[in-house]
Structure 1
Amino acid sequence: MRFVAVTPSLLPQARTAYDRHDWRAAVALYRQSLEAGENLVGPDLERLGKAAWWIGDREGCLDAHERAYGKYLEEGDRRRAAKCAQMLRFNYVNGLGDRETGLGWSAKAAKLLAGLDECAEHGYQIRLDARKLCTTGHREEGLPLYDKALEIGRRLHDPDLVALTESWKSLDLIEAGRAEEGFALVDEVCAAAVGGELGPWATGIVLCNAISAYRDSADYAGAGEWAERAARWCERQSIHGFPGICRVRRAEVLRLRGAWVDAEKEARAAGEELERFLVAYAAQAYLELGEIRLRLGDHPGAEAAFRQVHALGTDPQPGQGLLMLARGEPQAAARGLRRALENVNLVTVERARILEALVEAQSTFDQAGSATTASELEDIAASNPRPALRAMALRARGSIDVAAGKQATAALRQALQLWRSLDAPYEVARTRVLLAASYQLEGDAEGARLELDAAALAFDRLGAAPDVAHVNEKIANLPGSQPATTRRAFLFSDIVDSTKLAETLGDETWADLLRWHDAALRGLFAQHRGEEVDHAGDGFLVAFESSASAIACATAMQRMLAAHRRDHGFAPRIRVGVHASDAVRSGRGFRGSGVHQAARIAALARADEVFASVVAAGEAGLTESEPQAVKLKGFARPVEVVAIAWR
Structure 2
Amino acid sequence: MSESVTVSEAVAAGERALARGAWGEARSWFASALEQSDEAAAHEGLSWTHWWQEDLTACLAARERAYHGYRAAGDRRGAARMAQWIGDDHLWYAGAPALADGWFARARRLLDGLDECPEHGWQAVFDASVALGAGDLEAARRLVVEAQRVGRSQEVVGLQMFGIAMEGVVLLQQGEIAAALLSLEEAATAALAGEYEELAPAAWACCLLLSACEELRDDERGAQWCQQVTAFSERIGARFVVGNCRSHQGWILTRCGRWSEAERELVTVAERLADGPQLWYRDVLARLGDLRRRQGRGDEARRAFEQAGEQWLAQAGRAALHLDAGDAAGAVELAERSLLQLPRDSPQRAEALEVGVRGRLALGDREAAADHVEELRGLATTVGTSSLQAARWLCEARLAAADDDAESATRHYADAVAMFERAGTPLEAALTRLELARALAATSRSQIAAAEARQARAALAELGAGPDAERAAELIVELAGDDETPAPCPLTPRQIEVLQLAAEGLTERQIAQRLVLSEHTVHRHLANIYTRLSCSSRSAAVAQAGRLDLL
- Give the TM interval when normalised to the shorter protein: 0.7 to 0.9
> Which residue of 1 is the match for residue 530 of structure 2?
none
Q: Distance in 1 between matches of 2:38 and 2:434?
A: 66
CA gap of 1:292–1:551, structure 2 versus 1, over 3 A, is farther
The one of 332, 335, 343 aligned to 1:334: 332
CA gap of 1:351–1:560, structure 2 versus 1, over 3 A, is same
- 1:530 is aligned to 2:496: yes
> Which residue of 1 is the match for residue 528 of structure 2?
none
- 1:208 is aligned to 2:207: yes
Q: What letter corresponds to residue 43 of structure 1 in structure 2?
A: A
> Which residue of 2 is the match for residue 398 of structure 1?
397
Give 1:14 shift: 4.9
Which one is further off, 100-109 or 153-162?
Answer: 100-109
Q: Distance in 2 between matches of 1:482 and 1:533?
A: 25
Give 1:206 shift: 1.8
> Which residue of 2 is the match for residue 89 of structure 1?
87
TM-score, length basis structure 2: 0.80
Q: Deviations over 1:574-603 (max 9, x none)?
A: 99xxxxxxxxx998315xxxx6xxxxxxxx
The one of 11, 14, 21 aligned to 1:17: 14
> Which residue of 2 is the match for residue 26 of structure 1?
26
What are the ranges of 5 or more consecutive residues in structure 2 without an aligned counterpart? 485-489, 524-537, 540-544
CA gap of 1:233–1:59, structure 2 versus 1, over 3 A, is farther
Q: What letter corresponds to residue 208 of structure 1 in structure 2?
A: C
The one of 161, 165, 172 aligned to 2:159: 161
> Which residue of 1 is the match for residue 487 of structure 2?
none
> Which residue of 1 is the match for residue 531 of structure 2?
none
Q: Distance in 1 between matches of 2:257 and 2:238?
A: 29
Find the structure with the greater CA-based Rg: 1
Q: Distance in 1 between matches of 2:458 and 2:94?
A: 44
Q: What letter corresponds to residue 291 of structure 2 in structure 1?
A: I
- 1:352 is aligned to 2:312: no
Q: Distance in 1 between matches of 2:66 and 2:282?
A: 30
Give 1:419 shift: 1.3
CA gap of 1:586–1:228, structure 2 versus 1, over 3 A, is closer
CA gap of 1:257–1:206, structure 2 versus 1, over 3 A, is closer
1:54·1:239 contact (CA, 8 Å) conserved in 2?
no
1:130·1:145 contact (CA, 8 Å) conserved in 2?
yes
Q: Distance in 2 between matches of 1:230 and 1:68?
A: 31
TM-score, length basis structure 1: 0.69
Count of residues in correspondence between the two structures: 516
What are the ranges of 5 or more consecutive residues in structure 1 without an aligned counterpart? 1-5, 484-521, 543-548, 562-573, 576-584, 596-647
CA gap of 1:557–1:136, structure 2 versus 1, over 3 A, is farther
Give 1:390 shift: 0.5
Q: Distance in 1 between matches of 2:287 and 2:264?
A: 11
CA gap of 1:527–1:320, structure 2 versus 1, over 3 A, is closer
Q: Distance in 2 between matches of 1:558 and 1:304?
A: 50
Give 1:76 shift: 4.5
Say what the alpha-carbon RMSD is for the aligned residues: 4.0
Give 1:169 shift: 0.5
> Superposition pairs for residues 90-239 of structure 1, below 5 Å?
90-199=88-197, 200-239=199-238
> Which residue of 2 is the match for residue 63 of structure 1?
61
Give 1:215 shift: 3.1
> Superposition pairs for residues 490-639 of structure 1, below 5 Å?
528-530=494-496, 539=503, 552-553=514-515, 556-557=518-519, 588-589=548-549
2:512·2:518 contact (CA, 8 Å) conserved in 1?
no
> Superposition pairs for residues 423-442 of structure 1, below 5 Å?
423-442=424-443
Q: What letter corresponds to residue 91 of structure 1 in structure 2?
A: D
More helix by share: 2
Give 1:66 shift: 1.7
1:532·1:540 contact (CA, 8 Å) conserved in 2?
no
> Which residue of 1 is the match for residue 416 of structure 2?
415
Q: What letter corresponds to residue 16 of structure 1 in structure 2?
A: A
1:533·1:588 contact (CA, 8 Å) conserved in 2?
no
More strand by share: 1
1:88·1:105 contact (CA, 8 Å) conserved in 2?
yes
Q: What letter corresponds to residue 193 of structure 1 in structure 2?
A: A
CA gap of 1:375–1:17, structure 2 versus 1, over 3 A, is same
Q: Distance in 2 between matches of 1:345 and 1:371?
A: 20
Q: Distance in 2 between matches of 1:330 and 1:100?
A: 43
Which one is further off, 109-118 or 150-159?
Answer: 109-118
